[in-house]
Amino acid sequence: MTTQRAELEGTVAAKGLAFGSARVVYSAKIDVETEPLPSAGIPNEVKRFEEALKTARAELASLSDRVSGALARDLSEIIDAHAMILDDPEFTDAVVALIRKDSLRATAALKRQRDLLATMFEGIDDPYLRARRDDLDHVVARVYAALARGGAEPERKPSAEGQILVCETVAPAELAQLAESGLRGLVCTASSPYSHTAIVARGLRLPFACGVKHALAVVHEGDSILLDADHGRIVVRPDNIDQTRFRTLQKEAERVRRQRARIKVTDARTRDGVSVKLHVNAENPDVIAAARRAGADGVGLFRTEFLFMKRRELPTEDEQFRAYRDAIVAMAGRPVTLRTLDLGADKAVGGPLEMALEENPALGLRGIRHSLVHRDIFTAQLRAMLRASAYGPMRILLPMVSAVEEVREARELIEVCSEEVRRSRHPVADEIPLGAMIEVPAAALVSADIARHADFLAVGSNDLAQYVLAADRNNAAVAANYDPLHPAFMRLLFLVLDNARQAKRPISVCGEIAGDPRYTPLLLALGLTEFSMHPNALADVRETVGGLSRKSLKARASRLLHAPDRAALAEIVDAMASA
C-alpha cells in the first residue's frame, strides 16, 4: 500500500472541513449462485426469494419509522421510491417467473432481471426514468443481502466515528445513519451538488465533495484524509505542512462561527441598502422556530405532504388544521406559505394515497393536477388552511402549475371552502394571498398571464432546471448536464422574474440555488429580492448579501443574459462575487 501524499479535486456539494480516516466502500457486486436448481427445489427457492422481499420491506419500514426532523421529507422520498420497486410486479413477479421457468436460483434470477431492467432504463430518453436505475440497484443490493443472510438479522455496521466515507455514491437514508454514528465527511466519485444525497449532507452539515473521479483508485481503507469541502479539495495521506494548513483553516472557520454567534441577527441588506427577504423551506414547527431564532423573514415553503406520508389513513381536517396553526404560531407573526399537497413522480406514498404507477411519473398526475382530480382531499386541506389563517399571516401556494386555468379553478374552490368554513363559525382571515409555483417551462412561458390570476409567484428552480435541461439532478450520469449556470435556464428565469415585476407581484426562488451563496450575486442581478432556503443556509446567504452592491450587479445583468455558453456565464458569475 502506498504512503505517498496525493491531492484530489472535486465539486463542492456541502461545505465544511473534516479530518479523518478513510472508510472505503466499493460498488457492491452480486455473488450469483450458478449451481443448477433441481425441480424439487423450485418451491423452496421461490419462498426464499419472497422471504427476502419481506425482509427488505421490513428494513425499509423500520428506516422510515426512524426518520424525523428537517431531513425527513428527503429521506422519506427515497425510502418510498425503494418500497415501490419492492412492490412492483414487473420486478418481483419476473424474478419468480425466472426461478420457475428457467430453474434459476434466486440470486441468479435477481441479477438477470436487474440487468434487463437496467438495460431498459439506459435506453429511455427521459432522464427522470433513467435515474431510477440507481434506485433499482439500491433495492437489488438490499434484497441480495437478505438472501445472503438467509433470514438472519442484518449485521450491525461498525461505528463510523472519526471516518470519512469514500465511495461511488450513497443513499440519503444510509448517509443519515452513518452521520448518527460519527461520520465526519463524504467523498464520492459520482453524485452531484443537486442530488438528494447532497441536500441531506447540507442538512446534516456534513462536508461533502462529489465528482472526485479517481478517489477509489487512490484512497485505501484507513488512509488519513483532509477534506476541504469549502473548495472541493481532498488531501490523501497528508504531510505535516498539509496538517498545519488545515488546522489554520479550522481555526479561521471556528473564528467566523463564533463571530456570527455574537452578531445580532439583522435584516439582510446589500451594501447599497437594498432589503432582501430570506425565508425558509420547512415542514414542522420545530424547524420553523429554529429558523425564526436565526432571523428568517418567514416561511417561503411549508411542505404539507409530510402529513400524508407513512400512515394508514388520511389526516383529518382537524389534524391538518392543528399542524398548519402550529406552524403559523411558531413563526410569531411572520408570513407562512403553505404549499398544497405536492405528490407524484418522486413523492410517491403508500397507504390511503397509493398512486397508480405511471409510464412517465415526472410528467404525470402530480402537484395541483392531483389535487384537482381528488377534490375531497383537496377541499379538506383547503378548509384546514383557511381555519389556520386566523392565527397569523398565511399564504397558499399551488405546486406544479402549468396553466392559468388551474389557478382559476383553485381560487374558485378556495372561495367555496371559505364560505363553508365561515358558516361553520370558524374565523377566516380577510385576505389570503394565493400563489403559483413556476416549476415547468409551460408555466414559465405564460408566467405573465399566471401573474394576473395569482397574488404571488414562487420559482421551484430544482424542477424547472430539470425540465428545461432534460437532466435529473439525482442522476450521476447527467450530473454535468444539470447545471443552473446554463444560458437557457438563466434566460427563462429572468423572463419569470421580469413578468412578476411588471405585474407588480412578489416572487421568490425556493430551490437549491436560493440557498447557495455562489448564486446569490446572479439572482440579485436578475432582480430577485426574496429567497427561500434550508434554515442552515441563512447565515451564509445573509453574509453574502451584505457584501454585494445591487446597483453594480444589475448593471451586469445584460452580460449575463447574453452569455453564449456555460463557460462564459460561469466567468461572469465568478466576477460578480466582488461586485
Among the options 188, 210, 417, 510, which is catalytic?
510
- In angstroms, the Cα distances linking 299 to 268, 308, 327, 361, 540 are 15, 20, 9, 28, 18
Q: Is 210 a catalytic residue?
A: no
175 backbone dihedrals φ, ψ, rounded to 5°: -60, -45
Q: How many CA atoms, within 13 angstroms, populate the side-chain half-sphere of residue 221? A: 4
Q: Is 339 in contact with 299 (CB distance < 8 Å)? A: no
Can you tell me the distance from the alpha carbon of 469 to that of 463, in angstroms, rounded to the nearest whole number?
10
Q: Of 164, 256, 204, 195, which Cα lies nearest the Cα of 15?
A: 204
Tell me the C-alpha distance between 186 and 201, whole Å.
8
Catalytic residue among 82, 138, 167, 196: 196
Return d(Cα 579, Cα 576) in angstroms, integer: 5
Concatenated DSSP letters of 534-576: -GGGHHHHHHHHHT--HHHHHTTHHHHHT--SHHHHHHHHHHH
Tell me the chain's radius of gyration from C-alpha atoms: 25
What are the strands, taking DSSP E only, across 15-86? 17-25
Q: Report strand pairing: 185-188 vs 208-210.
A: parallel
> What distance in Å separates the CA atoms of residue 326 and residue 288, rounded to the nearest whole number?
10
- Are the C-beta atoms of 329 and 396 separated by less than 8 Å? no
Helix, strand, or coil (residue 224): strand
Does the annotation mark 220 as catalytic? no
Start-end of H helices in 338-403: 368-373, 375-388
Total number of residues shown for the chain: 579
User: In this structure, what is the dihedral angle of CA atoms 391, 393, 399, 402, given to the nearest 10 degrees?
Assistant: 130
Question: d(Cα 507, Cα 198) in Å, to the nearest integer?
Answer: 26
From residue 48, give the alpha-carbon distance in Å to each of 41, 99, 285, 300: 10, 11, 44, 49
Nearest alpha carbon to residue 73 among 310, 280, 297: 310
How far apart are the C-alpha atoms of 346 and 338, rounded to whole Å? 20
DSSP state for residue 344 in the 8-state scheme: B
| Residues annotated catalytic, as ranges | 196, 510
